[in-house]
Structure 1
């Protein structure tokens, strides 16, 4: 009944012939955050004697104020804990829900006129969890082709996306296609900015970093140079190794030639026999190779050598050159 009485009073004031003027023809857009607070600012004529102030939501009165008596009445009981009048009789709405969206009006009644101001309240969620997905592939000309995509957790809250490079506007959509040439040795950073009327988020990626899986992070062409260097060094190493091996083979052949004479002497010895006495009988068979003898041997293929030796504790073989006669004491 109270809200009906207040409405009748408002009609009574207007019906006395007071003129009504519009404070603004275009509603003031106010953006609120879901679950937070928002204030609808009011404008009052300084020199006017204000009789009452009424706040309406979608044409329905929600609060009535008597400035002279410093009194107010919430005419929407369900919103009693949500509505609050602050300085200059502006209306504050707390714990915003999507049901609070809509048209608001502040109607001011003076002794001579009625003034009103219109508002359009919009409520949005704050953006969260901005992500940048990327897809890369290697092109035929050895460049890295990059597809970047921006996304947020709540994309339906009037979200817009744009890209910046070095702080300058670059692209105004969520998807971005760029390429990176490893031969340039340069790196560019791309920043995605997601925003709505109450919040904004940003996320940056570099073309060089996202191309690591396709082309080596530093430079593919530098890797090729390293491969060439390794191959050349390997070839040089093997050449040196072959040269050293050939030197060794030549040295061994020369050493073998120098030691042929002692070897022939050993080869000319066929066997040696020992007797139990002091006389040693040894028969040496000559090879077909020509040898120089101190004394020629006539018509014999072998030579018998007689030597007298004193036997030590252990018997040892005695080697003797052909046609030589040794007396061992």
Structure 2
């Protein structure tokens, strides 16, 4: 919850009959859907307040009022039987108004009337309440086109599910060959054939929350030549994925046929335009298909690795003799487990310990990327980033971390270098005893 002041733009709809003096600014207050928010009240300096009442455009009467006792007795608080009933209270020494269990309908203008003792003057304070929801994790779709110059342009579209309020988009990383458009929700990446694969993350933010997508891998090649390939959808094993379908505005749908290595489903418009599933496969997709509304997007639940592949929607329109076809490539990935680190070491001259670290996964799957941190001067990565060779000295980092990533997850594991290299410098007989007692094993490290 936060607030700020904005310039006052007075409207007749909120003018109270006793308001003879108005503040020069209205305060913007931000709240979270389902949470609480406080409309802070500031009294006129040096003045004694007798009562305060609060109004809003959505209620015909004051939603709450409080009368302050003169001799230190209890205040008298009253709330009208409006939709705010049971959700408003007075808090703090300044008797600010608190609204709980916020809904999107609570957003709007509010006004506090402050009545002074022994004075006909009524001061007003005006507020604008903005209510936002906590953002869910956005999803990113991927498509590509091969240009005449051999460059491959990938289009990443970030989709955030938000029921209200502005959402800002940002991408990481941003490079000179990336272009952001459509309010930041679309990222265009131009790659040449010799460029390596890249991974991008979309972050969405509103005034009360932010959330990031799973990392999305952009391959080093286009899946086609001269034509736009199908939209790539990333799914997680055991979860759901949606193949988002749109068709030209104003067009009337006759039916839609979904297929993938055979017929999946046939849809037709039903009552009130809601799609009806008239044919559904009884194969491996049985009871795992559903249709989102509004629209004809296909959702596949309880994803399996075998679900990866090409999907096609064929749209037949009543208002046009031309059918529309849209292709999708679904890629299902399993969330990665913690990687294993295998190490070996030997003593070098001048007190330097040479270490080779090998990062591996029991079940790697596809599109796994490996990285090491720190990766300082003199360190060499090889074998696709799975191996790190370093010459360690006592002034170097105490540990090195291997991180594995795929488009839906990332996991890390650290290796403490100092204990291993300290053991390496012991005499041979002591080193054998050192290993015998399983010090390395206690660190969770395999030794070659």
Distance change >3 Å, CA 78–CA 151, structure 1 → 2: closer
Distance in 2 between residues matched to 1:175 and 1:78, nearest whole Å: 40
Compute the TM-score of the two structures, normalised by the length of structure 2. 0.39
Which of the numbers 185, 204, 210 marks the counterpart of 2:219?
210
In structure 2, how many angstroms separate the alpha carbons of the residues matched to 1:160 and 1:30?
A: 19
2:143 maps to 1:135: yes
Q: Could you tell me which residue of structure 2 aligns to residue 199 of structure 1?
A: 209
Quick check: which has more Rg, 1 or 2?
Answer: 1
Q: Does 1:181 align with 2:187?
A: no
Q: Is the 8 A contact 1:108 1:116 kept in 2?
A: yes
- Normalising by the residue count of structure 1, what TM-score does the alignment of the two structures yield? 0.52
* Offset of residue 65 of structure 1: 0.8
Q: Does the CA contact (< 8 Å) of 1:53 and 1:108 recur in 2? A: yes
Between Structure 1 and Structure 2, how many residues are aligned? 200
* CA separation of 1:159 and 1:43: change in aligned 2, threshold 3 A: same
CA–CA distance in structure 1, aligned partners of residues 80 and 38 of structure 2: 19
Alpha-carbon deviation of 1:197?
Answer: 3.0
Per-residue Cα deviation, 1:102-157 (whole angstroms, up to 9, x for no partner): 22111111133211100111222222130111113444554432111000223654
Structure 1 counterpart of 2:228: none
CA distance in 2 between counterparts of 1:90 and 1:167 reads 48
Change (3 A) 1:155 1:122: closer
Question: Which sits farther off after the overlay, 142-151 or 76-85?
Answer: 76-85
Paired residue for 1:98?
Answer: 104
Say which SS state the counterpart of residue 20 (structure 2) adopts.
Answer: strand
Which string of whole-angstrom CA distances, capped at 9 and with x for unpartnered residues, describes residues 256-298 of structure 1?
Answer: xxxxxxxxxxxxxxxxxxxxxxxxxxxxxxxxxxxxxxxxxxx
RMSD between superposed Cα atoms in Å: 3.4
Matches within 5 A, 1:285-324: none
Q: Given that residues 136 and 211 in structure 1 are in contact (C-alpha distance below 8 angstroms), is that contact kept between their aligned partners in structure 2?
A: no
Pick closer, same or farther for the CA change 1:167–1:83 going to 2, 3 Å.
farther
Native 8 Å contact 1:144 1:214 kept in 2:
no
- Name the CA distance, whole Å, in 2 between partners of 1:82 and 1:202: 33
The aligned counterpart of 2:88 is 83
What CA distance in whole angstroms lies between the structure 2 residues aligned with 1:135 and 1:127?
25
Q: Which has the higher contact order (CA 8 A, sep 6+)?
A: 1
Return 5+ residue gaps in structure 1 as ranges.
1-9, 219-329
Structure 1 residue aligned with 2:336: none
SS of equivalent residue, structure 1 residue 61: coil
Whole-Å separation in 1 of the counterparts to 2:192 and 2:163? 33
Change beyond 3 A, Cα 1:203–1:210: farther
Give 1:89 deviation, angstroms.
Answer: 0.8
Counterparts of 2:164 and 2:63, CA distance in 1: 30
Within the alignment, does 1:119 sit opposite 2:122 as a pair?
no
Distance in structure 2 (CA, Å) of the matches to 1:77 and 1:140: 65
CA distance in 2, matches of 1:210, 1:157: 34
Change in Cα spacing, 1:164 to 1:85, as seen in structure 2 (3 Å) is same
1:163 aligns with 2:174: no
Question: In 1, Cα distance between the equivalents of 2:87 and 2:112?
Answer: 17
3-state SS of paired residue (1:99): helix
SS at match of 2:213: strand
For 2:22, the equivalent position in structure 1 comes to 22
Offset, 1:97:
1.9
Query: What is the DSSP-based 3-state SS (H/G/I as helix, E as strand, rest coil) of the residue aligned with 2:162?
Result: coil
Write out per-residue CA displacement over residues 7-52 of structure 1, whole angstroms, 9 at most, x where no aligned residue.
Answer: xxx97xx5xxxx932223x321222222221111111124211111
Paired position in structure 2 for 1:62: 63
Aligned twin of 1:52 = 51
